[in-house]
């Protein structure tokens, strides 16, 4: 039975670790929060008392942590000194490209295989084992990475070398953030012009305004049953998370000398919505701001 260490059992990591256990893998897990570890144990994982203990003897290590500084610290202080020689290290967190490349370089220098493998899909996909993984790794390592990710995945795509998984993630979410704002602005304008929102939905979803933000995740309630707009924008993908990804995209654009003015506008608008109190709401709740309503 393959032994897998799983570090970071939060909203996403909890379900992902459970799916590793369901696939009959020997999953040894750790999180700073005892309650998260208990939940993972109930789902079939075994508990370690530290990252160091979890990674000792594991063939693969999966991390799902909040941001770049957490990933750099956990790998430098706990994973590299204690992981088995030749272990496959996979970071699924969404972090900055520079941190991903720095951790990858250190991993390679110490004789480990490393992949940055951020995900698309929220907590429902994490629980259901239907995440999409965007992978930056050496070509020779991809088959092994894909095999480890398989119980958590509906699609695993190699983006290129180290760091390109994170690049794919922030570019994708920049499109998502900007298109959601465009759809919300359009609904708010349609309302002001006396156009029924459900008529606008029906027309735009069959016209050139059609996009994922409209037809799979509609911000106006009542159009797409699974969308968070039907649950008072609870759950889903928090505005604060979207803001984090848009900031990562802007930082990366500034460093690369790329122009991303729409991404910058989207970042500013989500920052404003967060200041108005919408940080914990699903990012599609920004519709309320365009309608002149409190989140
Ligand atoms: P979360 O805050 O719920 O979980 C992170 C977990 O990491 C927490 O349980 C925390 O205790 C643990 N942790 C932090 N430092 C640690 C350490 N040193 N050792 C062990 N555990 C530690 O966050 P999340 O929603 O699960 O997101 C995780 C990552 O996935 C983030 O990078 C996020 O951007 C990305 N992501 C989230 C979503 C989503 O919908 N929530 C979707 C796609 C990607």
At 184-199, the pLDDT tens digits run 999 999 999 999 999 9
Q: What is the mean pLDDT of the chain?
A: 96
pLDDT of residue 123: 84
Which pair of tokens denotes residue 22? 């369901």
How far is ligand 1, taken at its centre, from the CA of residue 96, in Å? 14
pLDDT in tens, 40-88: 999 999 999 999 999 999 999 999 999 999 999 999 999 999 999 999 9
Residues 6+ apart with CB under 8 A from 115: 88, 89, 90, 91, 135, 136, 137, 141, 142, 145, 162, 165
Cα 63 to Cα 67: distance, rounded to the nearest angstrom: 11
* 54, 90, 104, 125, 149 from 144: Cα distances, Å: 20, 11, 16, 22, 9
Q: Are 86 and 79 in contact (CB under 8 A)?
A: no
Q: Are 117 and 94 in contact (CB under 8 A)?
A: no
Residue 35 has pLDDT above 70, yes or no: yes
Q: Are 129 and 107 in contact (CB under 8 A)?
A: no
pLDDT of residue 56: 97
DSSP state at residue 138: -
Q: Where are the beta strands (DSSP E) in 140-288?
A: 153-160
Q: Where are the beta strands (DSSP E) in the chain?
A: 3-7, 26-30, 46-47, 60-63, 88-91, 113-116, 119-120, 131-136, 153-160
pLDDT of residue 1: 67
Residues 6+ apart with CB under 8 A from 144: 88, 113
Of how many residues is the chain composed? Answer: 295
How far is ligand 1, taken at its centre, from the CA of residue 205, in Å? 34
Which pair of tokens denotes residue 33? 């929060």
How far is ligand 1, taken at its centre, from the CA of residue 66, in Å? 4
Return the bridge partners of 281, or none.
none
Residue 241 has pLDDT above 80, yes or no: yes
Percentage of the chain beyond pLDDT 70 is 100
How far is ligand 1, taken at its centre, from the CA of residue 93, in Å? 7
Q: Which atom of ligand 1 is nearest to the CA of 123?
A: 40
pLDDT of residue 122: 80
Q: From the candidates 39, 169, 244, 281, which is the catalytic residue?
A: 169
pLDDT of residue 124: 84
Can you say whether the dihedral through the CA atoms of 118, 110, 112, 54 is positive or negative? negative
**Stretch 251-271: mean pLDDT, rounded?**
97
Q: Which atom of ligand 1 is nearest to the CA of 94?
A: 32
Three-state SS at 22: helix
**Stretch 240-265: mean pLDDT, rounded?**
97
Which pair of tokens denotes residue 131? 């995440």
pLDDT of residue 78: 98
Residue nearest (by alpha carbon) to ligand 1 atom 16? 32
Cα 229 to Cα 285: distance, rounded to the nearest angstrom: 7
Residue 244 known to be catalytic: no
Q: Which atom of ligand 1 is nearest to the CA of 118?
A: 44
Residues with CB under 6 A from ligand 1: 7-13, 30-33, 36, 51, 64-66, 70, 74, 93-94, 119, 122-123, 237, 241
């Amino acid at each position: 039975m393959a032994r897998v260490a799983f570090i970071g059992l939060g909203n996403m990591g909890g379900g992902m670790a459970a799916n590793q256990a369901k696939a009959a893998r020997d999953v040894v897990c750790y999180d700073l929060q005892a309650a998260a570890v208990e939940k993972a144990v109930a789902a079939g994982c075994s508990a370690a008392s530290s990252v160091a203990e979890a990674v000792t003897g594991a063939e693969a290590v999966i991390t799902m942590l909040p941001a770049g500084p957490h990933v750099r610290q956990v790998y430098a202080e706990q994973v590299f000194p204690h992981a088995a020689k030749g272990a496959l290290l996979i970071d699924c967190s969404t972090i900055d490209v520079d941190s991903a490349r720095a951790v990858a370089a250190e991993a390679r220098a110490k004789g480990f295989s490393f992949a940055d493998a951020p995900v698309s899909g929220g907590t429902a996909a994490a629980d259901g084992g239907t995440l999409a993984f965007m992978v930056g790794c050496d070509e020779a390592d991809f088959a092994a990475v894909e095999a480890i990710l398989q119980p958590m995945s509906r699609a695993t795509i190699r983006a290129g070398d180290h760091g390109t998984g994170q690049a794919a993630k922030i570019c994708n979410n920049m499109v998502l953030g900007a298109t959601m704002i465009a759809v919300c602005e359009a609904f708010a304008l349609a309302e002001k012009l006396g156009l029924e929102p459900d008529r606008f939905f029906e027309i735009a979803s069959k016209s050139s305004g059609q996009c994922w933000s409209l037809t799979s995740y509609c911000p106006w309630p009542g159009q797409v049953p699974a969308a968070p707009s039907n649950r008072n924008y609870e759950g889903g993908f928090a505005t604060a998370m979207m803001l984090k990804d848009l900031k990562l995209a802007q930082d990366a654009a500034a460093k690369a000398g790329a122009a991303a003015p729409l991404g910058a506008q989207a970042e500013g608008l989500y920052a404003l919505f967060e200041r108005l109190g919408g940080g914990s709401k699903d990012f599609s709740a920004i519709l309320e701001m365009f309608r002149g309503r409190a989140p």
